[in-house]
Structure 1
Amino acid sequence: MASAYSAYHGAKSSQFTVTALGRWSILTKQLPAVDKVRVLHVYDFDNTLFRTPMPNPTLWTGPTIGLLATQEAFSNGGWWHDNRILAATGEGAEKEEERAWEGWWNEKVADLVKLSTKQPDALCVLLTGRSEHGFGELIKRMVTSKGLEFDMVSLKPRVSPANQSFQNTMHFKQLFFEALMETYQQATEIKVYEDRPRHTKGFRDFFAEYNRRQTEAPTRGPITADVVQVVDSSTLLDPVVEVAEVQHMINQHNTTLTKEPSSKSKLMIKKTVFFTSYMIGGDDIKKLLKLAKIPASVSNNDLKFHANNILICPRPCPTSILEKVGGMGSKMLWEVTGTACFDNSIWAACVRPVPHTAKFHTDNPIPLVVLALRKGARPMDAGKITAWQPVPVEERFSFETTVGEKVILRIEAEDPKEDEYQSLFANKSHKRKHNADEEWAARSVQYAGRNESRGFHSGRGRNKGGNPGRSHRASRGGRGGRGRGGHGYRSLDDVDPKGQSNDAPPGSFGRGRPMGGQPSNGSDLQSYY
């Protein structure tokens, strides 16, 4: 990559003036004179000044998170290039603007911006790699509502004021820094606030090289550079809002491909179902966990706590079984009758329906709740428990469950040959030619109560796989919700221009953890509870 220095100083027409520098900013205010500025303060926007929502790793598979951050995967640029995603923060731009996006700012950095504004010899700059044409007005509204004043608000234009193209966000920011320092040549210090370690290192290396060149062939002399690593403060959108906005982004992408055919594929949201179960609410989970008699010698660090479901079946539930349990969303009451420990590694509670004659279906001979597991233990081995310690009648309690699925969403190319059941599997080798009921019949070992007709389930659900968010129990984001978009997640700063990404192997989009599969017949459900 050509350096910003050579790019600028190799161009004879380059002029470092206050007027020329002002063309980098979306603001119309007059910049201070060169002799008035002694320090330069530059603030990054995403997850430095503003706690920007990232893709929710409890909603999406790792490869899909990588896909969302890959600009060339979507005709509209994906997560970091669709302003609807940023505008959906909190309760949406219209409501949030009225309350200045309260709770979504890094208040310590916002206070530093205010101090920079009050410092008479400081130039205060907001610098972000978001596109000028897509986000300029929105970001200006956001900082204005917060009462933050900048001398410059600079977003990435299509080309620089000198008509230079940008290889990536790092290149854009280096060109900007060069113009800033060459214009304000009497400034003795530049301080940059940045959240991403990769860019922090890149900026430090850039300023070190700049100062080295200034000692050999000075144009303005060395400058004291301080790149401040800001603690990442990213957040999450409300899960329902996030899925809706991603679906809208996909709809726009598909519409564009219909009008302007290209090598890109039409996309759709699909879901991977890990298991179907009677799901247990938060308050009842706490009560159930108290039943686990775990020895004091066992460290909590060696345990995984569950108590959140009674397994109906692994993988998507066949229609015949789903009808027997009353459909998605059906309610049922259960009573705890006993507890047990298997191999000092699995703690579980056995339960029975209320009333006792109610019909049910479970994957185990006796309906049970896995309470806790030692790391490495398999939830399916709880089915081997034969000796249960009865819970005294006066200590028994009842709790309500809701039939639902443990799912995670993924984005894949549309496949006209794929039916609804096949779409539930990310691994194509698991897709079967026969239907789900035939597959279940082939593997099923019948237990008492399994094939009874629906009894005391309330509510009625339908087995429609088209709703990717059905009964999904994701952690909620919302105002101030913390979350990291890890697992191979790439931010705007890591995205190269279309067709120039070096992070993804040929034929793939982005990177991510190898999720999205599902447990096969009799396989270990440990990762999916």
Structure 2
Amino acid sequence: MDDSRRSRANVDPITRINIFDFDGTLFASPQPNHELWEDPLFGYLKADTMIFKGWYQHRKSLSFDESIRRRRWKGWWNNEMVDLVRESVKHPNSLTVLLTGRGYSEFHHIITDMVERKDLKFDVMGLKPDQNTIKWNLCYKSSIIQKVGDMKYEELIRNETSLVKVDMMENSEHLEEQSNRSNSSRKKLKSINTRVTTKEFKLMFISELLEHHPSVKSIRLWDDREHHVKCFQCLFDDLKSRGIVDEAIAKMVFLPIRYFDPYQEYLIVQAMIDDHNKEVERFSKAQANESSRKFSLGKIQLVPREYYYNRYVYTKFAIQLEGVNF
């Protein structure tokens, strides 16, 4: 090993992890506008198992026109979080992590393009895997070599983690045991066929980061969902009580709700429904295939509904299923 390679292999270990959520935390991602959709449809849009993959798993939910892209989404970023990311990544002993429930195949290129245009750098970018297996070579960025060295980087990217559907405390009870394991090329964890939730994915991702970097003594996390923040803080308190880390804080982030232009949002929802109907049709042709996805809703279509209030008329959209209105 030459001197430069040896010196990078002996860099001080990571002692702090800073984790940033994307939607509603780092970036004011547009949400479905309740004023446009009747209550049942609005709920279906935000779920990830009712209409295709749901709003937050459909790539068009982050589709901005070229004028906004050229301005690097000015006005959509949380500048306070942007500054924290830039400060974090400068520190040689800090691991700066973007962690989101957005799916890897749909959003890896989109979100990577967005953060790069904003001149943001992360040591790790964790997007929810498509097949319940975290492939760490897709998460760790090669720039981390300057912090952990070549040998450690090669070791990290050989890892794969099969996600286990566990609740918060079950996950935390195994963290200490996991942190004492030797690193291996593949984690021998029980696989399941059902999709894990975003919360479950993030919990396992954090626990694996601690296993990868056992010298970590401080974790800070920023997220916009209150129930997620409470869950993470409960986990963090457990880690502190058992001496795994000295400091662990989950912080709540508040951003104003943003929407697309109503017509653009209508087109996005129509695209979601078109994709949903195609999946339903494919499933109906392959019901014998156990791996095929089952749908709670059959083929659906948007239907306008007029409402009258104080002599004003306004329209909301509902969905119609096989002749039955919701």
Match of 1:9 in 2: none
SS at match of 1:71: coil
Pick from 72, 77, 80: which aligns with 1:108?
80
Query: Structure 1 residues 33 and 406 mapped into 2: Cα distance closer, same or farther (>3 Å)?
Result: farther
Match of 1:207 in 2: 236
Match of 1:130 in 2: 102
Q: 1:33 Cα deviation (Å)?
A: 6.7
Correspondence 1:238 to 2:271: no
Task: Give deviations 1:336-390, integer Å, cap 9, x for gaps.
Answer: xxxxxxxxxxxxxxxxxxxxxxxxxxxxxxxxxxxxxxxxxxxxxxxxxxxxxxx
One-letter identity of the residue aligned with 2:54: G
Q: Distance in 1 between matches of 2:102 and 2:25?
A: 14
Number of aligned residue pairs = 252
Match of 2:19 in 1: 42
**Paired residues of 2:86 and 2:121 also in contact (CA < 8 A):** yes
Match of 2:49 in 1: 72
Pick from 223, 227, 239: which aligns with 1:194?
223
TM superposition outliers: structure 1 runs of 4+ over 4 Å = 31-34
Q: 1:99 Cα deviation (Å)?
A: 1.8
Aligned counterparts, 1:460-471, within 5 A: none
- TM-score, normalised to structure 2, is 0.71
Correspondence 1:172 to 2:201: yes
Match of 1:249 in 2: 272
Query: Structure 1 residues 406 and 32 mapped into 2: Cα distance closer, same or farther (>3 Å)?
Result: farther
Q: Distance in 1 between matches of 2:126 and 2:256?
A: 21
Q: 1:61 Cα deviation (Å)?
A: 1.7
Q: 1:38 Cα deviation (Å)?
A: 2.1
Q: What is the RMSD computed on CA atoms of the aligned residues?
A: 2.3
Task: Give deviations 1:155-189, integer Å, cap 9, x for gaps.
Answer: 11122322234531111111111111222222221
Query: Structure 1 residues 254 and 148 mapped into 2: Cα distance closer, same or farther (>3 Å)?
Result: same
Q: 1:265 Cα deviation (Å)?
A: 1.1
Sequence identity (%): 31
Match of 2:151 in 1: none
SS at match of 2:162: coil
Larger Rg: 1
Pick from 300, 316, 324: which aligns with 1:408?
316
User: Which structure: greater helix fraction?
Assistant: 2
One-letter identity of the residue aligned with 1:258: E
Q: Distance in 1 between matches of 2:85 and 2:106?
A: 24
**Paired residues of 1:96 and 1:102 also in contact (CA < 8 A):** yes
Unaligned runs of 5+ in 1: 1-30, 216-220, 277-305, 312-403, 427-529
Task: Give deviations 1:257-316, integer Å, cap 9, x for gaps.
Answer: 23432653111111221139xxxxxxxxxxxxxxxxxxxxxxxxxxxxx7xxxx3xxxxx
**Paired residues of 2:163 and 2:201 also in contact (CA < 8 A):** no
One-letter identity of the residue aligned with 2:33: N
One-letter identity of the residue aligned with 1:408: K
Match of 2:162 in 1: 163
Unaligned runs of 5+ in 2: 1-7, 135-159, 166-195, 285-293
Q: Distance in 2 between matches of 1:239 and 1:32?
A: 53
**Paired residues of 1:156 and 1:172 also in contact (CA < 8 A):** yes
Q: Distance in 1 between matches of 2:124 and 2:245?
A: 23
Match of 1:401 in 2: none
Match of 2:117 in 1: 145
Q: Distance in 2 between matches of 1:234 and 1:109?
A: 16
Aligned counterparts, 1:445-464, within 5 A: none
Pick from 119, 125, 135: which aligns with 2:91?
119
Q: Distance in 2 between matches of 1:147 and 1:237?
A: 24
- TM-score, normalised to structure 1, is 0.45
**Paired residues of 2:78 and 2:255 also in contact (CA < 8 A):** no
Q: Distance in 2 between matches of 1:32 and 1:42?
A: 24
**Paired residues of 2:216 and 2:245 also in contact (CA < 8 A):** no
Match of 1:59 in 2: 36
Match of 2:213 in 1: 184
Q: 1:63 Cα deviation (Å)?
A: 1.8
SS at match of 1:150: coil
